[in-house]
Amino acid sequence: MRAPSVLRTLAFRIVLVYVTIFAASAVALVAFTYWNTERALDAETDQTIDAEIAGLSEQYQRLGIAGLTDVIIGRSIRGGLGLYLLTDSLKRPLAGNLDSWPDAKARADNFIAFDYERHAGAGFERHRARGRTFALTGGFQLLVARDVDERYKTQRLFTTTLPWTVTLMLVLGLAGGALLSRNLLTRLDSINRTSREIMAGDLTRRLPLTRAGDEFDTLAGNLNRMLERTERLMKGMRTVTDSIAHDLRTPLNRLRNRLEGVLKHLDGDRPEAREVDAAVGETDTLIATFNALLLIAEAEAGVAREAMTPVDLPAVVEGISELYGPVAEEKGVSLELTPSGTARIEGNKSLISQALANLVDNAIKYTPAGGSVRVAVENTSGGIAVSVADNGPGIPPADRARVLERFVRLEASRNSPGTGLGLSLVAAVARLHDAKFELSDNAPGLKATLLFAGRTGRRLVPTG
C-alpha cells in the first residue's frame, strides 16, 4: 500500500496545488493570447473588407452597375483569398466568384461568417469565410468576404489540442509530484524508523546521512548531535548510578560480612548475639531501601528501557496473584483475579512484576481480615488497564499524589514495616512504560490502576 501513503504526503499535496495553479494560469495565459490575436486578426480582416467595400462602392457610384460588375469580375478571376458576389435585389448573382448568396444570417453590423465550397484539385473543399454585405442603391446587394479557413483550422487545432496539453501537463506534474514526495517520504521514513528504534531504547542508533548535504542531512545531523548528547547524558547517569551503587554497596558488604563474622563466633542464645542479629537485619533494611532507590533512579532515567521485551500482562498478573495467594489466605483476605485474554505490551517484565507485587503486597497489608483484594487486567479504550483494588481504609484524595513521592508514608501506616518507596517505584515503572498510574476511591478502599496506553510502535498487537 505504497501509493495512498504517497498521496497523503505534504509534498504531494503541495505539488498538487502547485500544478493546479500552474495549469490554470497557463490555460488563462494561452486563452488570453489566443483571444487577443484572434481579435487583432479579425479586426485586420474586417478592415481589409471595409476598405474593399469602400473602394467598390466608389466604383459603383462612378461607373454604375456595369463598371462595378467589370471590376468584380476582374477581381474574382484573380483567385486568392478574396470572395465577391454581386446580386440584384432578389439575390440573383450578377457577378463574383460565389455562385449563391450564403444562408448565414448577417450580424447587426452586416458582418457575416459562412462556409463555402472551393475547387481543390478534382473535388471541392469546404472553407470558412468572413465577409460583409453591403446594399447598393438600386437594390443591388454586394458581398465582400475573405477566406479565413487557414485561421479557422488553426483555431480548431488549438481548441482540440488545448485540453490534451492541459491533461498532459497535469499528469506530468502529478507524476513528478509523486516521485518527489516518494523521495521525501523515503528520507522521512528512514528518519521515523530510526527515531522509533531510539525511542524503543537503542540509544546508539543514528539517523542515516546521505551524500547530498541537503536540508534533510542538516536536520539529521542536528538530530544526531542531539542524540549524542542524550546518549552521553544517559551514560553519565548510568555511570553515576553504577558508582553510587559500587561505592555504597562495597562498604555495606563489608559491614554485613563483619556482623556475620561476629555472629558466627557468638553463642546464639547470648543477648549480644541477638543484638548483632538485629544489626544484620537493620543492614538488610538499609540495603533494601538503597536497592529500591537505585531501581527507581534507573527506571526514571529510562536505563531499563534497554531491556524491553514483549510482556504478556495477564500472565504477569496471574503469576503475582499466585505468588501472593497464600499470603492473602493466611491473613483471611480473599485475593480474586479477574481472568482475561492476552494483552501484550513492550516492557521490562521484571520491573512490571515488581511494581505489581508492591501493589498487591500493599493491598493485602492494608485490607482487614475478611476483606477482599481484586486484581484485574482489562482492555479499555484508553489501553490496557491493570488494577489492584482493595477494601481497606483507602487513601484520602488529598494524600493520593503525595504517597507517590519517595519516602512518604502516611501517619496511619508509620508502624507497619516498609520503606515508603513501594508506590514511588510503581510510579517510576509506570513512567518508564509511558503508562498512567492512578489511585482512586474503591468506596471503600483504594483502587490502584496502571494504564498502559500502548503508544504507537510500542504496543504489540497480537497476530494470528
Residues forming the site for other proteins (CB under 8 A)? 241-242, 245-246, 249-250, 252-258, 260-261, 263, 268, 277, 283, 287-288, 291, 294-295, 298-299, 303-304, 306-307, 319, 322-324, 326-327, 330, 348, 350-351, 353-354, 357-358, 361, 364-365, 417-419, 422
Pairing of strands 372-380, 334-338: parallel
Kindly state the smallest distance separating residue 431's Cβ from other proteins, in Å. Answer: 15
Confirm if 83 and 145 have CB atoms less than 8 A apart.
yes
Kindly state the smallest distance separating residue 284's Cβ from other proteins, in Å. Answer: 8
Residue 48 vs 241, nearer CB to other proteins: 241
Task: Give the relative orientation of helices 422-432 and 271-301 as an angle to the nearest 10 degrees.
Answer: 20
Kindly state the smallest distance separating residue 404's Cβ from other proteins, in Å. Answer: 17
Instruction: State how far the Cα of 174 lies from the Cα of 7, in Å rounded to an integer.
Output: 10
Residue 224 vs 283, nearer CB to other proteins: 283
Residue 176 vs 326, nearer CB to other proteins: 326
Residue 361 vs 438, nearer CB to other proteins: 361
C-alpha angle 189-192-197 in degrees, rounded to nearest 5: 125
Residue 4 vs 268, nearer CB to other proteins: 268
Kindly state the smallest distance separating residue 461's Cβ from other proteins, in Å. Answer: 26
Kindly state the smallest distance separating residue 211's Cβ from other proteins, in Å. Answer: 37
Instruction: State how far the Cα of 316 lies from the Cα of 122, in Å rounded to an integer.
Output: 99
Question: Which residues lie closer than 8 Å to 64 by C-beta, 6 or more apart?
Answer: none
If DSSP codes are grouped into helix, strand and coil, which group holds residue 146?
strand
Q: For residue 71, which of 138, 144, 146 has the smallest C-alpha distance? A: 144
Instruction: Indicate the length of the chain as a whole number.
Output: 464
Kindly state the smallest distance separating residue 324's Cβ from other proteins, in Å. Answer: 6
Q: For residue 324, which of 365, 368, 296, 288 has the smallest C-alpha distance? A: 365
Side by side, which strands form the sheet with 383-390?
334-338, 372-380, 383-390, 446-452, 435-441
Residue 37 vs 257, nearer CB to other proteins: 257
**Residue 71, φ and ψ in degrees, nearest 5:** -60, -45
Residue 57 vs 241, nearer CB to other proteins: 241
Kindly state the smallest distance separating residue 351's Cβ from other proteins, in Å. Answer: 7
Cell numbers linked to 314: 495477564
